[in-house]
Structure 1
Amino acid sequence: MTEQSEDSADEKIPQRPLKCRLQGNFAAWLHRSGGSLAITTYTSGKLVLVGSTDSKLAINAHKFARPMGMARNGSRLAIAVREQILTFRLQDDGKFIPERTYDTGKVNAHDLAFGRRGIYFANTRFNCLARVSDRKQFVQCWLPPFISTMFAQDRCHLNGLGMQAGSPAMATAFCETDEKNDWRKEDRFTSGVLIDVARNEIVARNLCMPHSPRRYRRAWWLCNSGHGSLSRFDPSSSECQEVCALPGFTRGLCFTGKYALVGLSKIRPKHILDAPPVRARHGELTAGVALVNLSTGKQEGLLEFVEGGNEVFEVAFLRDVKEPRLQHEKET
């Protein structure tokens, strides 16, 4: 069997209704938090909104074409979908209504973030960090030090974008290469890198398909995805130290209080993102969102996707929005 391309994966999976179940402390925590969650399920083409009312969870799924990166900034929510970045604005009643559409073309946008100069994203197809533009499909902001020029071909699988003080600060990639499709080689299980954007240098190596670099509590965190890990970067040793091992391909990360919310995926065997290391640790993988206590490094709860959502890309905590709703442009 040949490996499937990441771009075509969502076209090959039958669409099924989303079914969820809760484990541990997840429901109680979400009710206490005063907020809600937004989750992109990527291959199954859903944006999942998880709210809490009267100690019960309300889960709604909205169909989008390949939703991936997502970011919130105050009343604004941005979502990267196929060839577009969509923005929504929050109303007083908890509904996100369409605000703006940016046509980016086939950039395979992964992580997304609001910054000082607009909306930034990991432009995976062109091996760069970019931001949206009113005049053209995107503006290139930064190239990794090992990429010679901007190519319209995925060479290193640059996927993760971490912001600090309103500017791009960290990035993740599967490898440090300037050759076409090198990221698909078997050494992707040990060739992943964390890159300091401002210093333009690699600060950690030997990662397994890393994603989701995030700044929180004066530290850098990321998903060492192929190991199923939530990890913290230690600049003194240039290592990413495992904080919690989870039963899935970890991708998608946000924080609130003493907790991390980590996206989990079931990666199919022979898929380009298949991860033997996490399979060896856990055998059967889980899809959904894990609740991790940063003080103890323990998983305290889980929102599990039993059906209809096998691969999570991003999870965002919607602070002060207990019952989120979303309106598509075609809705009246």
Structure 2
Amino acid sequence: MTTTEKPPFYSTYSPNIPEILWKNKLTIAITTYQAGKVIFISANSENGLIQLPRDFRKAMGMAYHGGKMAIATREEVVILKNTPSLAKGYPKMPNTYDGLFMPRATYMTGEVDLHDMAWGQAGLWAVNTRFSCLSMINDDYSFEPKWQPSFISDLVPEDRCHLNGMAMKNGHPEFVTSLGTTNSAFGWRENKAKGGAMIHVPSGEILTTGLAMPHSPRLEGNKLFALLSATGELIEVDQQSGKYEVVTKIPGFVRGMSRYGNLLFIGLSKMRKSSPTFKDLPIAQESIFPGIVVVDANTGKIVGHIKYETSLEEIYDVKIISGMLRPGIMGVNTDDHRNGLSLPTQGFWAVPEEPKKIESE
């Protein structure tokens, strides 16, 4: 590598990002389906960041709760559990991690294009974009349909409205976003830049329409936030009237959002100008860099950023892992995780047996 070449997933960041993560004991987790990775971004001091990318094919939505993480991939949902008893003794990097997310189960969903996910009182909820419904993920079926918008007439794999985002309240889905209110195969594409909607799940009522590619609705206290990807706006929506105010404008395609305190960590993607889905969006000309922006929800000011310069162009989801300064994560495409044996009270790293020589007669 010459001095002018930059390594994979090279990033720069504003000086306050490491300080925020270090002082609050936080790690940022992001998914990028374009690169097929889940990446943990942690502080290694008050002045520096370190990242840990792992392979997950077409990584999309994530759910995180109580030390457990779910990752939607192209054909599966992978469940990982933080296993502190294995973290310290991880053979390749002992005494490095204060947590370690180990794969513990895989659900074979098939290619149903799962987007936002969250754990609720009934189990693991997922936005099933291909079938235009909310579904539960379990070991009985590819998915179990639980709710669909009133304008969707049939449960068919046609991505009729591009249902994508989900906001939870008291363990149940409360609001969802879609890129259209259409009832034909890929009908949302005809008016993708301004045909989006926010829908109240319990009543089935459409709260507001005419949104510019809404994603990532989040209920934070009594406030309902969402991202308008086509215009690069963070908005706050009135839950009664459906009217919204722009909290701030961000120069890029925004998608994926997680909160810590008054800070909102928002994913930023660089648009592919060759893509028929994105190239004619208003934000395409302003899309400067992919990465993370941090917004103060009280003031609307952008207070920090992480900018990727190589390998990564698109981010789908963002999650904040609190209480762990530098957790590790095991992918499923190598054998490393198979040697981690966890029990309720302790963990062991198995030593692979030496290959046995076969004697010939």
Superposition TM-score, scaled by structure 2 size = 0.84
| Offset at residue 250 of structure 1 (A) | 0.5
Aligned to 2:55: 63
Of 284, 288, 292, which aligns to 1:289?
Answer: 292
Aligned to 1:232: 236
The SS at the match of 2:314 is coil
| Offset at residue 311 of structure 1 (A) | 0.4
Aligned to 1:25: 16
| Offset at residue 53 of structure 1 (A) | 2.5
The SS at the match of 2:34 is helix
Of 305, 315, 323, which aligns to 2:326?
Answer: 323
Question: Does the 8 Å CA contact 1:227/1:275 hold for their aligned counterparts?
Answer: no
The SS at the match of 1:227 is coil
Of 194, 201, 222, which aligns to 2:198?
Answer: 194
| Offset at residue 285 of structure 1 (A) | 2.1
Question: Does the 8 Å CA contact 1:24/1:300 hold for their aligned counterparts?
Answer: no
Judge which range, 27-36 or 134-143, deviates more.
27-36
Of 185, 206, 211, which aligns to 2:210?
Answer: 206
Question: In 1, distance between residues paired with 2:248 and 2:279?
Answer: 20
Question: In 2, distance between residues paired with 1:202 and 1:29?
Answer: 38
Query: How big is each residue's C-alpha offset from its partner over 1:251-300, in whole Å with a ceiling of 9 and x where there is no partner?
Result: 001101010000000111242134632245xx342211111011210101
5+ residue gaps, structure 2: 1-6, 88-98, 340-361
Aligned to 1:264: 268
Kindly report the root-mean-square deviation, in angstroms, between the aligned alpha carbons of the 2 structures: 1.4
Aligned to 1:301: 304
Q: In structure 1, what residue type is equivalent to 2:251?
A: P
Of 20, 29, 35, which aligns to 2:26?
Answer: 35
User: 1:132 aligned to 2:145?
Assistant: no
5+ residue gaps, structure 1: 1-15
User: 1:82 aligned to 2:74?
Assistant: yes
Aligned to 1:73: 65
User: 1:249 aligned to 2:253?
Assistant: yes
Do the aligned partners of residues 84 and 313 (structure 1) sit closer, same or farther apart at CA in structure 2, a change above 3 Å counting? same
| Offset at residue 30 of structure 1 (A) | 1.6
User: 1:184 aligned to 2:210?
Assistant: no
Q: Which runs of 4+ in 1 moved over 4 A?
A: none
Do the aligned partners of residues 227 and 284 (structure 1) sit closer, same or farther apart at CA in structure 2, a change above 3 Å counting? closer
Q: Percent identity?
A: 32
User: 1:146 aligned to 2:138?
Assistant: no
Q: Of the two, which has the highest radius of gyration?
A: 2
Q: How many residues align?
A: 314
